[in-house]
A and B are shown apart, each in its own frame.
Chain A
């Protein structure tokens, strides 16, 4: 039970989407600072400035030999393709770069600062993050900015719900998971969002029955769709929408360079993925 429900570092997911299936509001973006924190400190998110978006030069040469950054990307912004390629190279999930692109297209329309939960009419998003916090806080390591995460909603390139994003890596690293002391606004940093996404995909592939690429998106919306709800109306809708997204974006998921089933068998581990994608957080957030 623990194993099945521990995806994304969350022990005991009580239904609902882990990563919001609805498209993040691309027009609303982060304010860049938070109003306070659980321990009384006032974090200044502007102080967390991770390295810039990777370029082709940051992607390992061997990976670039396999991942052509110019073909079969459709309308994926060219300056985000190296990030997706780096995610594939880091996670060693062959074929995942373009799958991440299709997911980002759905979740954020590639807007790194996309935020669902900061507008008055996005109470449902805040409800989702609050539920994620309430249902799991007692079974996971504490988050320094737990209250803020609960009120945050979801955001970033991959539309991550804030509490789950900050618990990324808990099953593998426990209290040493790297984002436990970070504020939820970190999700707007594309490298941090990428880290959350590769860990999430790895856990989907390693712990769930994933028959094909469209199943990944079903699990992304809700891992329950890969279990007892497999074959349900929602399961089919998510899969259909994902394939339609790929077509609309202009990515051919049946390209010979993309395996029919992705594998996380060569996963390097959370610390390596964090180091390669994020690097290090400022000392006050570690």
Chain B
């Protein structure tokens, strides 16, 4: 599978073999270890791995999700918002999955439960941030407004980038992922989307053209930010020229990841044309894009061994690139 068909470059296909239990376990654990490090649940994940005997792809995703949810404590303060967020998310996830546009969902709030409003202190508030200005994932939303007047002031659709949960808003990549502040149930649904995109069926159902468009926009706005950063050789490799000396707190690039020397990655950021970009968010989003396309390539390779309805998904996809590679794979 050639990602240049989607106008993408720079992603290496790791060649994941979905039919190899060893490879599946190793690849999925690398994915979840990275997610856990970014979202701060590494300790729980390690505990889950220590007690887990899963040998399936679904089991690996379930283990990761369980580790994530185990870090939450009950938040009785935000129950009303959490309830509305959960029901809205359930709705947009179902629709997004049906449309093949789960990575970024766009929905008219008038069609969503409670109009995506929740009550607090006698007033109605928006249950999500109206993320429609130009940002790192897109160039904004030109309209139209909701079909019906919103009780809590929505003037735009609800746009969520669930493929990069918890960084769900195009214009809010400056710090910790906003979705990570959600209470347990909506947060579980959000990370559940990330997990589901690591499942071959949901991955193939997702229109890769949407993901590629977001990825290209992201790359176009972040490339210049990285250009002047020092690049260090991969860990454990020998370099003909001595690597640059790093100061404490200096941001640098290694193995395609942006890192910070002797400081917290969670605090580091880069100032770009569309606002401050958290280094952690950058690495995480790149990781999600890479994982999506790696699994897409693996799923296409393994297509003859996948269930018939999954094969049919790929063969009848509205995405001509997927149809092309799926047909090739089935014919082999």
Query: Which residues, 226 to 283 on B, are CB-close (under 8 Å) to A?
Result: 245-250, 262-267
Q: Which residues of B contact A49 (CB under 8 A)?
A: 246, 262
Q: Which residues of B contact A69 (CB under 8 A)?
A: 40, 42-43
**Do residues B263 and A112 form an inter-chain contact, with CB atoms below 8 A?**
yes
**Partner among A55, A56, A189 whose Cβ is within 8 Å of the Cβ of B262:** A189
- Knowing A56-B43, A69-B42, the reply to whether A188 touches B267 (Cβ < 8 A) is no
- Knowing A71-B71, A78-B266, A190-B262, the reply to whether A113 touches B43 (Cβ < 8 A) is no
- Knowing A70-B71, A71-B71, A78-B266, the reply to whether A188 touches B40 (Cβ < 8 A) is no
Contact with A along B35-51 (1 / 0, CB 8 A): 00101111110100000
**For the complex, is A38 an interface residue (Cβ under 8 Å from B)?**
no
**Partner among A29, A70, A77 whose Cβ is within 8 Å of the Cβ of B249:** A29
**For the complex, is B53 an interface residue (Cβ under 8 Å from A)?**
no
**Do residues A188 and B42 form an inter-chain contact, with CB atoms below 8 A?**
no
B73: nearest chain-A partner, CB-CB: A71
Most chain A beta carbons < 10 A, residue from B37, B71, B265, B267? B267
Q: Is the interface of B mostly helix, strand, loop or mixed?
A: loop
The complex places the Cα of A266 from the Cα of B271 at a distance, in Å, of: 46
The complex places the Cα of A78 from the Cα of B266 at a distance, in Å, of: 7
Q: Which residues of A contact B37 (CB under 8 A)?
A: 78-79
The complex places the Cα of A190 from the Cα of B265 at a distance, in Å, of: 13
Q: Which residues of A contact B46 (CB under 8 A)?
A: 56
**For the complex, is A64 an interface residue (Cβ under 8 Å from B)?**
yes
**Do residues B42 and A46 form an inter-chain contact, with CB atoms below 8 A?**
no
**Do residues B266 and A189 form an inter-chain contact, with CB atoms below 8 A?**
no
Q: Which residues of B contact A80 (CB under 8 A)?
A: 264, 266
**For the complex, is A256 an interface residue (Cβ under 8 Å from B)?**
no
Q: Which residues of B contact A81 (CB under 8 A)?
A: 40
**For the complex, is A110 an interface residue (Cβ under 8 Å from B)?**
yes
**Do residues B264 and A112 form an inter-chain contact, with CB atoms below 8 A?**
yes
By the criterion of a CB under 8 Å from any partner CB, how many residues of chain A are at the interface? 30
**Partner among A56, A68, A188 whose Cβ is within 8 Å of the Cβ of B248:** A188
- Knowing A29-B248, A111-B249, A113-B249, the reply to whether A53 touches B262 (Cβ < 8 A) is yes
**For the complex, is A234 an interface residue (Cβ under 8 Å from B)?**
no
The complex places the Cα of A115 from the Cα of B294 at a distance, in Å, of: 43
The complex places the Cα of A32 from the Cα of B46 at a distance, in Å, of: 36
**Partner among B40, B43, B248 whose Cβ is within 8 Å of the Cβ of A32:** B248
The complex places the Cα of A206 from the Cα of B245 at a distance, in Å, of: 40
Q: Which residues of A contact B39 (CB under 8 A)?
A: 78
Most chain A beta carbons < 10 A, residue from B39, B245, B262? B262
Query: Which residues, 186 to 242 on A, are CB-close (under 8 Å) to B?
Result: 188-190
- Knowing A70-B44, A77-B267, the reply to whether A112 touches B73 (Cβ < 8 A) is no
**For the complex, is A257 an interface residue (Cβ under 8 Å from B)?**
no
Q: Which residues of B contact A71 (CB under 8 A)?
A: 71, 73
The complex places the Cα of A30 from the Cα of B71 at a distance, in Å, of: 36
B266: nearest chain-A partner, CB-CB: A77
- Knowing A70-B71, A77-B266, A79-B264, the reply to whether A56 touches B42 (Cβ < 8 A) is yes
**For the complex, is A31 an interface residue (Cβ under 8 Å from B)?**
yes
Q: Which residues of B contact A40 (CB under 8 A)?
A: none
**For the complex, is A52 an interface residue (Cβ under 8 Å from B)?**
yes
**Partner among A30, A50, A70, A111 whose Cβ is within 8 Å of the Cβ of B267:** A111
**Partner among B42, B43, B247, B264 whose Cβ is within 8 Å of the Cβ of A110:** B264
**Do residues B73 and A188 form an inter-chain contact, with CB atoms below 8 A?**
no
Contact with A along B43-86 (1 / 0, CB 8 A): 11010000000000000000000000001010000000000000
The complex places the Cα of A85 from the Cα of B176 at a distance, in Å, of: 22
The complex places the Cα of A64 from the Cα of B37 at a distance, in Å, of: 16
- Knowing A70-B41, A71-B71, A78-B40, the reply to whether A30 touches B248 (Cβ < 8 A) is yes
**Nearest chain B CB to A194 CB, angstrom units:** 12
A interface residues with partner B (beta carbon < 8 Å): 29-32, 46, 49-50, 52-53, 55-56, 64, 68-71, 75, 77-81, 109-113, 188-190
Please provide the 3 A-B residue pairs with the shortest distance between their CB atoms, ordered closest to farther.
A78-B40, A32-B247, A113-B249
Provide 13 A-B residue pairs closer than 8 Å at the C-beta atoms, listed in order of the A residue. A30-B249, A32-B250, A46-B246, A49-B262, A50-B262, A53-B264, A56-B46, A70-B43, A77-B264, A77-B266, A78-B266, A80-B266, A112-B262
